[in-house]
Structure formats: structure tokens, C-alpha cells
Structure 1
Amino acid sequence: MPRIISYTRYSSSKQAGGASYSRQVEAAKEWCEKNGYTLDERDRYEDLGVSAYSGKNAKKGDLFTLQSKLQSGEIEPGTILIVEALDRITREALPKAVNLLMGLANSGLTVVTLSDGRKWDTETMEDLGAFMTSVLTLYRGHQESEQKSDRVRKAFKKHRDEGLQQGFGSAPGWLTREDKHSPWKVDEPKAEIVRKVFELSAAGYGSKLIAKRAKDEGWPPPTRLREESEGWHAQMAGQILRNRAVLGEHQHRIRTHEAHAQSWAGFTVGEPIKDYYPRIISDELWNRARASIRTRAVAKRRDVHYYNVFSGLMYCGLCGAPIHRKSERTGHSHAQLQCSDKLAGKTECKTMAANRADPDILRAIYEYSIGALGSSSAAAVSADVEALEVAITEKLEECDRIADAVAKTGGRVQSFIKKSISLEDEVEALKMQLAEMREQQALLPANTVFDDAFLTEAMAYLYIPEDEAAKEKRAELHLKIARVVETIWLFSYDLAYIQYKDGAMQPVMLQHKQLPSRVNPNAKYHKPPKPRPVPEKPYWRAAMAGELLLPEARRASSFRKKKLKTLLLEYEEEAEERRYVDA
């Protein structure tokens, strides 16, 4: 007696509460009873809420598992597969649908469709009439889905074109409404949590640290979670911080299976719509948080307690490798500043006690900030913003002129098209630069980045372990330093050479190596220690003479930069191939 298995599928999770599932299961059992077979219920194949129109069930669903078992021999030839109809297996376009059905039959499987009582196997498919029937059935299933999809696309397009919200039921988790005709309302408790996320980000917290705090304090997630979700995680915090819906904006997207095949997020359609949702944060808070995120991107944050306030900024003055901070729970130095190449055994660069470098470097940054980053800095940023706005306006006017020229020539002049593409790229680059400048502008207070209590508070909290208040102060300190400083080159016990964001360079003499004295001057036979000669500082002397050569700081390349380099290489290779073919 052949083995009998069944395959059950419906397309949408909304159908879970209906009769589709139970109808298919019961129909399979009735067929087995009627024909004297026993259904193997231990090996069920079910794709619930999975589309056959997109082919997802055949690519990664239970149907894919079934095909894999057929190929491996786990499901023996002669097995009968019961389905309600062929469109439960596939609704893809005809070539793929026919190949799928033929593949199942050629693997030795007999497909029984309950809707018409037919059997589909290699013997049946050799009959021209039966084969044409299967083709027509598969074509009808695809056309039905295609027509439904087309109606939905047209309905959504109409709502987009008319600016209606009724057709779009999804919204951020901090918004609710009674029905699709009602306006969106803010869920204040959830909105307050979103504001906390932005405030913490603006204060220097990364996504992981925000998620950890949310878990520790039991914040309810302000997003729409799936049932299997475990709540807060770093990705959730990052998604909130990137979501412009907090400003009331909405970006329409095409989310068909064709679009999802190209990108998991689908394709954007049109320009972002302002005031689509109720706004829950200000532009000022958004810009502060975005600037903070951009600043923290100087290095991957592995130091979750922010002990290294120079993270991503300090490099070895001898070889250019990043300086790592190795914290110490005992001893007088609190931490050691070590060249990463020295840690890897590549160089013999000296290590330095952190407490002999931190005070001098922080004092230098503070003094420079007070002297050079006053109100004139804010004025300079405002002037740069205005200049960028003018440049963007001029580029857009030129784009319009080029577009007119392309229209008049009917696209026959390739140079116009290339120029138009080039101008659009330039405009996008200028817009990104303008956004960065506005973020920087939002960060500048009336006078300076640092206040008078900066140095005192910094030293007080710098070395306190496992204290939440100290960690917050260090995170804020790191953010302030990163907004001012570009690079710090460290020459252990000799010199720190600071390069600021505005291009200014500042040499800082560091304290020489000295262990704390264990001499007790009150002892009975105390003898004052002999004075020690002050060590030479050759790098400080070279800096003062203008002869110091600084190595290039070996910053970690971001994933985006690596990807762009790869794309550029591919583009150059394609261009070279085209030149070869043309020649």
C-alpha cells in the first residue's frame, strides 16, 4: 500500500481564523477513508500564511522541504500527495508552475487534487489532454492571483495619489486609531519611551546600551511586535532612531513579492509625506540624536562601560595603529594605553599608564575648546549651512535646464543624460552634507561644547567602575570629545599630538613614567630619596622644532566604504570590458 501524505497551504495569516485549514485537512482524511488508505499524519507539510504566487512556499517553505526529501530518497517513489487543488502548490507564472509540477511527478510522486478528483503523475502527464488540462489549471490559478494583485496595486496607487490614509492600516507602534477612517492618535506612554530612546542617544548611548537599559527598567516596547518576539534588542533601538515617523513623516513603499525579491524593505515611491502622522519629537532632538550616532560611528563600541573616552580617536604616534585601553582594577595607573600592534606582537611600541596621560590631554582639549570653539563657531556653521543651501538651489536649477534639453533632443544626446545623472548625484551629496551641518548646528550651544565644570567632573568619574552615573558621564564625555577632536597621536610618556575637527594641531607634553613613592617621611630612619633625572622627550622636542612626522592613523573601514570600493572595482571592470568590445 502506498504512503499517503498531505500538503496544506493558505496565503494570508488572516485566514488562520477561517475554515480554510480545517477544510483542507478534513477533505484529505475523507479521501483516504473513501479510497481505503491511511493518511500519514506524522509527516504533515503545511505552509500557513505563505504565498504560492511569489513562490515562497517552494523556495523556503514546507513544499521546499518536501522536494528536498524527494530528491534525497526520504520520500519513496509511489507516494501519494493529497492537495485541495493545484493552486495550493503553486500560483507562479506558467513556466515555473509547469516545471514544479513536472518535477514532483518525475520524482515518483503522485499528486491527487481533491477539487476535481484528478491524479497527476508521469503516466498522466504523458497524455496530451491531461497535460493541457494541468497547464490550463495552473494558468488559471496564476491569472486569478495576478488579477487580485493588480486590483490591490491600483487601489493602493489611488490612495497614494489622492493622499488618503484609509488604505494603509499599518503605522508605528506608538500610534493607534479606532478604524481606518479615524485619525491617528498618540499612545503617550509609548511615545514617552521613544523620546527616552532619543534622549539617551543624544547623550551618547549606543543602541545596545539603550536596549539593555530598557530591559533592566522594564520599558514596554513602543513598536508592533510579532508573537515570537522577545522584546527589546539593539536592532529595535536602532530602528526607532532611524524612523522618521517620529517627525510625522511617512514614506510609501511598494511591498509586492517582486519588490521584496530585490530588497527586503521593498521600493520607495514618491517623496516622504510630511505631517502624515502626529509628530512626537522635535527637529532639535532628532538632529542631536543623529549627530550623536554619526559621532559614535568613529569606532565600534566594545567598551560598554565607556572607560575609554578616547575610543576611535587615539592612535600610536610610532606606527599609526589604534590605541587600546586595558583597564586595571588594582594598581595606581587605573588602565594601560597599549598599541594594538604591540598587543599583536608586531612592534615594540611603549605602553603608558592612563593616569599619566588623561589629565594633560583632557586639560588641553578643554582649554582649546574654551579658546577656539566659542560663538564664532556657531556663526561659521550657520554661514556654511547658508552656502550649502544656495549651492543645492543652483544645482537643482541646472538639473531643470538639463532636463529641458534632454526632452527637446528626445534623449538622443547622451552627454545631456550623463550630465543629468551626475548633477543628481551631486545634489544628493550636497543634501547629505547639509543634513550633517544642520545636525552640527543643533549641537552647538550659545558659547562652547564644554562648560566650566567639564575638567573637574571628567576626572571625578573617569575611573569609577560599574557605576551607572559614572558610565553616563563617561559616555557624555566621549561624545563631547569626539565632536571636537579628529585624531590623537600618542607617544608614550612623551607627547600627545591632537588634531581638531577644524584642522588645528596641538602638541601636549605628557608626564614621564614615575611610580608612586613608598617612602614614609615620618619613619625613624627616613632618608630622602635621591632626585631622579627627568627623562628626555625627543618627540616633544621634534614637535617644537616642526620636524615631527606623524604616521597615518589606521582607522577601521566601515562596511559601507568597503562595499563602495567593491562596487567601484566592479564598475571599472565592466567599463574595461566595454572598451575592449568596442575596440
Structure 2
Amino acid sequence: MLAVSYQRVSTGEQVGEARSGLDRQAAAFAAFCSRHGLTPAPAAVVDEGVSAFKGRHRREGGLAAFIAAAMAGHWPMGTILVVEDLDRFSREVASRQQALLLGLFDAGVALGVCRDDRIVDRDIYDTNLAVRLMLTIRADAAHDYSAKLSERIDASWRHRRERSLQGEKIAGFRPFWCGWDGADYVLNTHAATVQRMTQLCLEGLGLIRIAQALNAEGFRTAKGRTWAYANVHKVISDPRIVGDRPWSDGTVVPGYFPAVITRAEFDRCHKLITLRNSRKGQVGKGDAIRNLFQGHSYCTCGRLLSYQSRRSRSGETLYEYLTCVGKRHGHCDSQNVKYDEEVILRALMRERWRHYFTASDRRHEDRKLRQKILAAEAEVAKHQAQAERSQAQLGSLLGEGRLSAKAANLIAAQVDQALAAASEAQEALQALQRRQAEMGAHLTGLELEEAIHGQVEKFIAESLQQPEVRQRFNAWLLASGVRITATDPVRNSWAMELDGRHHQAWALRYRGLPETVVEEGLSSVVAVALADSGKISQEAVPDWVREAADRKAQDFSARVERRLSSAEA
């Protein structure tokens, strides 16, 4: 008869490099076949790291595949599935185990148990009461053991959770980029891997490319293996890299671990990954080699521009252009735009990126945050002082021996209340300080402008004719949030946006005008428009700026009307 070995271990640690659990089961199978004169199947059915307590192995594991194949007739009738012990077959409640066993019999397969040195088929199960009782008792014992183990593990996790909520650190309870110095968590050498991973993501690389870059640069996982995109996604999406400790019930302990990156970087990475996933199928990957701005150039209707070219019979490019994808379905009638990389790159370099962020708005937010921090520090000091006074009063009265038990309990409760209020105020202060540190990491408008200009110059110096450089430039556009809109196809005029905010929002109704006309009267007009649209706070725009904006807007509108009248004439 043919015998098939079913080997299962519940955790990845049991698989390990030594494979002690699987090797032990394989040895028991070989001895069982020898004793019963069975023919071993060349390959075993193996479930690595799959628990049988809740039946996962019978729904999606190797056992499920084996039973399905047997039901389909791919295994001969009378085949014996051999397990080391009954608990390898299942650890569910007795009724579930019985149903699984009867399903095995329905597929024409018998069960062999090495520990009992017994083969059970349907005839033996139906006619031998002792075997049925033995299997039922063993099923109950297997499930009871797993249930108690699960309860102990759950209780242990609940205890750990309560300890972590109280601020206690646990040595063996940390991510791979954290070490232990005997009292607290510290970043180890793997933190550099996480930082490099974040940097690559912020540069616009996808998960697969990040994994490839990490492997090429010699970075390895905690187990010394090469990186795969799934590992990268797991780490870069882990809130513990910014110091948070999340729990399954939704509770989050901020600042529990040392932060590897800032929260702003973490949020940006998450946004970029979401953006890349939302754009799947919209544009072809190969277009980034031909179209430097693939996925970032838009028509005035809001749809993407697609790269097109006309070639001679010899393959020589005659001309290149960008066309709105909406034209394919009759949703847009805009003209095609000549594809001229030099024109668009000059527009990138000429853009006044500093106008995306106003210094007054930044100073206003900084000032408000500093005021909140000072107030929080005062609140902490007040509650700590109150606790110290109550403790001193309690000690003095106790020393004089003129304190009743009721009064002592009352003062002790006041001390506890003051300490709890001080702890709560301290947490609020730390949150404000973290916010201040994150704000300090943000680029100012001038720094942003210099960074974009420097990056464009760097890519041009590296020769944008090289495919890998073009792809990196395209990825950088994604990371920086740049959006390029063809405002005038005839003049090949382009407008730049950053994260959906157009610094010429006040002049959108005059699209198509020459850039020199649109740029007249920026400053105060821009500030008012951004404040009215909610992009910056109203407090950042004083009255005199609004008055100047009104005068400029009226003067500008008059000049525009004159230009339009001249053009029509």
C-alpha cells in the first residue's frame, strides 16, 4: 500500500535551520512504513508554521490540498496518510476532528498514527468501539492542551500590554532594529537599513526597486537574507519605526521605541506607496524611458497626457507629442502638445517654488506651538509642585503624630491625583515637542526651491539620455509631488503644481496667457488667494496686504482685458 507522510509544525521557529520538528516526523514515518510494509510516497505533505488549533491547515494548507486531490481521484483508493501523532492531524474540538477524519475516509484514504502504531480506515472506525473512544479522548486532550496554551499566551500578552501602557520596557519585546542596553531600547546597526529604505522610498522608488537597491548595496535582513518587496513593505509600513507601539485592540503607545525616522517621513512614505498603488495600470512602465514626465504631465481637463511619436519607415523619430488620454473616448478636445523636454525642464527651473510656503505662515505656526509648549511646561510644573506640597504636608503631619487615618488617606489621594495629572501633562508636552521637532525637519520655501533646482541640475549633469537616469528622474518627480499641466498647447506653456496647490491659483481663469502676463502682481495677491482657499491661515495675511492685493488685482485685471482685446483685434 502507498503511504503519504503528513508533517506539520505550528511556528516558524519549529521549522528553523535544524528542522528538528520536521526531521523527527520524517524519521517516525520511515520507521512506521518499515514496520507495516508500506510503500512511502516520494514527497511528503508539509505544513510549515501552520497551526491546527483553529483549522487553518484544513482550509488552506497542504492537508487541504491533499484531501482535495484525493477527492478528485489523484490518489489511489486505500492510500494511507501517516502522522506522527494525532495532534499533528488536528487540534480542533472533537466534532471538527471527527468531521475531518470522516472526510478523509470519504476520499478513500486511511489514517496511520505512528505513536499508536495503528492504521485506521472506515471499517475499523465503524466496528471498533475502543478505537473510536481512543481517538475521541485523544482529540479532546489535544484540543484541551492547545486551548490552555492559547489562554496562557493571551494572558501573557495582556500582562505585557498593561506593563507597556505603564511605560515599562521589556528586553525581549522589540523590533529587529532595536537593541537592549540593560534598561531601555537603543537603535542597533539594522537601523541604518531602515533609514536607507526610507530614503529610497522618498526618492520615489517602488518596493521592488527598493529591495533590489538594498541587496545591491549589501544590506541584509535581520536573519542575514536578501530583501524582497514584501519584507520592505512590512518594515516601511510598521509604525514602530517612528517609535509607536500598536496593540491588536487599537491601543497605541507613542514614544515606546526609539524612532528611526520622523513621523513626517513615515507619513510621506505611506502616501507615496498609496499613490503608486492607485496609479497601477494608468501608464506603462516603459514609457518613462521615452517620456521623462510620464505619469506627471496633465491636460487642463485634469487627465494624464500620454506620449506618442511618429516614425519613418527606417525607424527614425519624425516628431513626438503628448496627447490627452481623454481624447480616446471623446472626453476632451484639447490640442496635442509638442514633446520638448528642454522647455519643460526650463519651466521646472524657472518656477518660484518658494511661493508654496509663506514665511509669515510658518512663523505664525511656530509661535503658536511655542506658546503651547510653554503652557504645557507650566502645567507640568504646577502639578508637580502640588504633589510635592501634599507629600511634604503628609510627612510633616505624620511626624507630629496628629494625623487621623481618614485625613492621611485624603492627602495621599491628593498626592496620587496630582502625580497622575503631572504625568498626563508631561505626555501632552512630549507630543508638542515631537511636533516641534517634525516641523523643524520640513523644508522652507527657499530650501525647497534650491532642492528642486539642485536635483534637476544633477539629473541633467548625469545625462538624461541614459534609461536608468530617466527612470530615477521620473521616480523623483513622484516623490516630490510635482504635477505639470500644459496650460497652452500652442505656445507650449506649462504650469507647475506641488501636491495639488497651484501658486497662481488667483489667475486660473487666465490660462493660456503668456507667462510674463500671469506673473505680474504676485506676492500680496497670492497670499490673499491662498488664505481664502484655506491653504494658509487667515492670520498670516494682515489688512494692509489685503488692501495692496485689491489694488493689484484691479490693475492686473485691467491690463489683462486690454491684452485680450488687442489679441482679438
- The two structures have a TM-score, normalised by structure 1, of 0.60
Residue of structure 1 aligned with 2:304, choices 314, 319, 322: 322
The structure-2 alpha-carbon separation of the partners of 1:299 and 1:384, relative to structure 1 and needing over 3 Å to count, comes to farther
Rounded to whole Å, the distance in 2 between the matches of 1:31 and 1:294 is: 53
1:11 CA displacement: 2.8
Residue of structure 1 aligned with 2:360, choices 376, 380, 387: 376
The question of 1:224 aligning with 2:226 is answered no
| Structure 1 segment 170-189 matched on structure 2, within 5 A | 171-172=175-176, 174-176=177-179, 183-188=184-189
Q: Which runs of 5+ in 1 are unaligned?
A: 253-267, 390-434, 512-540, 547-583
Q: Which runs of 5+ in 2 are unaligned?
A: 374-433, 516-559
Residue 83 of structure 2 aligns with which residue? Answer: 83
The question of 1:158 aligning with 2:140 is answered no
Residue 249 of structure 1 aligns with which residue? Answer: 244
Residue 338 of structure 1 aligns with which residue? Answer: 323
Deviations 1:119-156 (A, max 9, x none): 43222332455434432321221111111111111112
Rounded to whole Å, the distance in 2 between the matches of 1:187 and 1:305 is: 38
Rounded to whole Å, the distance in 2 between the matches of 1:45 and 1:291 is: 42
| Structure 1 segment 190-229 matched on structure 2, within 5 A | 190-215=190-215, 217-221=216-220, 223-224=221-222
Contact 1:199 1:289 in 2 (8 A): no
Aligned letter for 1:10? V
Contact 1:112 1:119 in 2 (8 A): yes
The structure-2 alpha-carbon separation of the partners of 1:101 and 1:310, relative to structure 1 and needing over 3 Å to count, comes to same
The structure-2 alpha-carbon separation of the partners of 1:299 and 1:249, relative to structure 1 and needing over 3 Å to count, comes to same
Aligned letter for 1:374? T
Rounded to whole Å, the distance in 2 between the matches of 1:38 and 1:356 is: 73
1:100 CA displacement: 0.5
The question of 1:9 aligning with 2:8 is answered yes
Deviations 1:407-440 (A, max 9, x none): xxxxxxxxxxxxxxxxxxxxxxxxxxxx999989
Rounded to whole Å, the distance in 1 between the matches of 2:44 and 2:452 is: 69
Residue 411 of structure 1 aligns with which residue? Answer: none
Rounded to whole Å, the distance in 1 between the matches of 2:76 and 2:180 is: 53
RMSD, matched Cα: 4.9
| Structure 1 segment 151-550 matched on structure 2, within 5 A | 151-163=152-164, 166=170, 168-169=172-173, 171-172=175-176, 174-176=177-179, 183-188=184-189, 190-215=190-215, 217-221=216-220, 223-224=221-222, 231-252=226-247, 268-283=248-263, 285-286=265-266, 299=279, 302=285, 311-312=294-295, 314-317=297-300, 321-326=303-308, 335-342=320-327, 350-355=335-340, 358-359=343-344, 362=347, 366-367=351-352, 369-370=353-354, 373-379=357-363, 443-445=442-444, 447=446, 449-451=448-450, 454=453, 457=457, 460=460, 464-466=464-466, 476=476, 480=480, 482=482, 488-494=485-491, 498=495, 501=501, 503-506=505-508, 507-509=511-513
Rounded to whole Å, the distance in 1 between the matches of 2:35 and 2:351 is: 88
Contact 2:357 2:444 in 1 (8 A): no
Residue 56 of structure 1 aligns with which residue? Answer: 56
The question of 1:45 aligning with 2:45 is answered yes
Aligned identity (percent) is 19
The structure-2 alpha-carbon separation of the partners of 1:276 and 1:323, relative to structure 1 and needing over 3 Å to count, comes to same
Rounded to whole Å, the distance in 1 between the matches of 2:440 and 2:512 is: 29
The structure-2 alpha-carbon separation of the partners of 1:103 and 1:204, relative to structure 1 and needing over 3 Å to count, comes to closer
Deviations 1:494-531 (A, max 9, x none): 575857616444424479xxxxxxxxxxxxxxxxxxxx
Residue 126 of structure 1 aligns to a residue whose secondary structure is helix
Contact 2:11 2:49 in 1 (8 A): yes
Rounded to whole Å, the distance in 2 between the matches of 1:438 and 1:468 is: 36
Residue 141 of structure 1 aligns with which residue? Answer: 142
Contact 1:306 1:475 in 2 (8 A): no
Contact 1:449 1:480 in 2 (8 A): no
Number of aligned positions between the proteins = 441
1:385 CA displacement: 9.1
Aligned letter for 2:362? A
Residue 111 of structure 1 aligns to a residue whose secondary structure is strand
Residue 539 of structure 2 aligns with which residue? Answer: none
1:23 CA displacement: 4.6
1:373 CA displacement: 4.2
Contact 2:354 2:445 in 1 (8 A): no
